[in-house]
Structure 1
Amino acid sequence: MILDIYKDALEYSAKDWKILVILGVVCLFSFLLLPAFLITGYNYRVINNAVHGVINGRDPLPEFNDLIEMFIDGVKVVIVQIAYLLVPFIVFVIFAVIAGNLSGAASSALMLIGALITFVIFIVAELMIQMGICHMAYNDGAFSKAFAFSEIKDAIDEIGWFECIVTYVGLIIITLVISFVVTAIIGLIFTAFGISGAVLGADPSGIFVLGALINSAITLFIVGPYLSIFNSRSIGLLYTMQI
């Protein structure tokens, strides 16, 4: 089932290259913060489609329209993320403060224990974030449903904590592999051009700069948006496993 989710999401994310470019352009201005909420809001739409769909369905990519609604959805998602991540952050700060008042081995041991506990809480928080956002989308965007802890826990229990963690780790691995492979292929191509130019007596620096620019552009306008949709679709489909 997990492999089916990945297969569906990989194919789904490539359905409309125009959307990828639009997201890339918006991402280019995300340092202004407001566009970043639009990207988050669009990914929420992808999740919303997924939780109301089926694996290997014929869902099209959501339209990039109704910007005010999309912005509001993005703000809601960011608030959910911050609220859940505050928990491991506060736990770590508490351990750090206590350890700071100790010395020697006791301080180091307490920090190690604190780091391990924080890591476990962080993993749980991440799962609650993902499933909470899916639960909110499934319940017609009701913000309170993102914090319906017992309902979200029941959903994770139904899917299986192990399955959720494995799926999430798999998404991280796939994201890293795709990013690395695309970057490596483009890098190798322009390295070959650069070496060939150097052999012929030309200055290869311009070729290397062009390669770096093209690599950055492809990452920004194609790979980045593709992977964000892929991750959102996968999480949404994972949620449907308990419906």
Structure 2
Amino acid sequence: MILDIYKDALEYSAKDWKTLVILGVMCLFSFLLLPVFLITGYNYRVINTAVHGIINGRDPLPDFEDLIDMFVDGVKVVIVQVMYLIVPVIVFVIFAIVAGHFNGGLSTALMIIGGLITFILIIVACLMSQMGLCHMAYNDGAFSKAFALSEIKEVIEEIGWSECLMTYLGLVIITVVIASVVSIIIGAIFTVFGISGFALGVNASGVFLLGAFINSIVSMFIVGPYLSIFNARSMGLLYTMQI
């Protein structure tokens, strides 16, 4: 079932390359902050489509319409994600403060333990926040449903904690692998061109700069948006497994 989710999401994310470019343009201007909420709002629409769909269905990519509503949804998404990360942050701060009162090995040990506990809590918090967003989308966008912990816990238990964690960690691995492989391939191509230029006695420093520029463009306008849709679609489909 997990592989079916990945397969569906990988294909779904590549349905319309114009959508990726539009999201890439938003990412380019994300320093203005407003586009950040539009991006997260669009990903929420992807989740909303997924939780009301089925694996290997024919769901279309969401349209870029009603931008005000998309912005509001994006703000809600960011608030939900931040709220769920508060506990791990507080735990890490507590360990850091306590460790600061000791010296040597004990201080280091406390920081390592605190770091490990925080890492585990972050994984759980991220999973809970994603399922919370799915729960919110399934309940017609009711913001309170994103924090209905008992209901979200029931959803996860119905799917299976191991299934949810494996799916989420798999998404992280797939995301890192795809982003790394694309970057490495582009880098390798321009490295070969650059070395060939040097071998021919040509100053090929511009080739390396061009390679870095193209790598950034591809990451921003294609790979990044593609992976964000892939992750949103996957989590939405995971949620449907308990329905």
- TM-score bracket for the superposition, by shorter chain length: over 0.9
| Residue 222 of structure 1 pairs with residue 222 of structure 2 | yes
- What letter is aligned with 1:134? C
- Aligned twin of 2:212: 212
| Residue 32 of structure 1 pairs with residue 38 of structure 2 | no
Q: CA deviation at 1:239?
A: 0.6
Q: CA deviation at 1:126?
A: 1.3
- Aligned twin of 1:14: 14
Q: Give deviations 1:110-130, integer Å, cap 9, x for gaps.
A: 333333332222222111101
Farther off after superposition, 132-141 or 192-201: 192-201
1:27, 1:133 → 2: CA distance?
21
Seen in structure 2, the aligned counterparts of structure 1 residues 54 and 188 have a Cα distance that, compared at 3 Å, is same
Residue correspondence of structure 1 range 121-200 to structure 2 within 5 A: 121-200=121-200
Seen in structure 2, the aligned counterparts of structure 1 residues 213 and 103 have a Cα distance that, compared at 3 Å, is closer
1:42, 1:85 → 2: CA distance?
21
- What letter is aligned with 1:204? A
- Aligned twin of 2:48: 48
1:192, 1:103 → 2: CA distance?
50
TM-score with structure 2 length normalisation? 0.96
- Aligned twin of 1:4: 4
- Aligned twin of 1:119: 119
Matched residue SS, 1:44? helix
1:203, 1:117 → 2: CA distance?
51
- Aligned twin of 2:242: 242
- What letter is aligned with 1:39? I
1:149, 1:87 → 2: CA distance?
14
1:92, 1:207 → 2: CA distance?
44
- What letter is aligned with 2:16? D
Q: Give deviations 1:76-124, integer Å, cap 9, x for gaps.
A: 0100011110011111112222222234444333333333332222222
Contiguous gaps of at least 5 residues in structure 1: none
Matched residue SS, 2:203? coil
TM-score with structure 1 length normalisation? 0.96
1:228, 1:16 → 2: CA distance?
14
- What letter is aligned with 2:44? Y
- Give me the CA root mean square deviation: 1.3
Matched residue SS, 1:58? coil
Farther off after superposition, 98-107 or 40-49: 98-107
Seen in structure 2, the aligned counterparts of structure 1 residues 2 and 203 have a Cα distance that, compared at 3 Å, is same
Farther off after superposition, 116-125 or 132-141: 116-125
1:186, 1:114 → 2: CA distance?
38
Matched residue SS, 2:61? coil
Tell me how many residue pairs correspond in the alignment. Answer: 243
Q: What percentage of residue pairs aligned between the two structures are identical?
A: 76
2:196, 2:113 → 1: CA distance?
54
Q: CA deviation at 1:16?
A: 0.3
2:17, 2:193 → 1: CA distance?
28
2:212, 2:98 → 1: CA distance?
46
1:43, 1:152 → 2: CA distance?
20
- Aligned twin of 1:202: 202
| Residue 109 of structure 1 pairs with residue 109 of structure 2 | yes
Contiguous gaps of at least 5 residues in structure 2: none
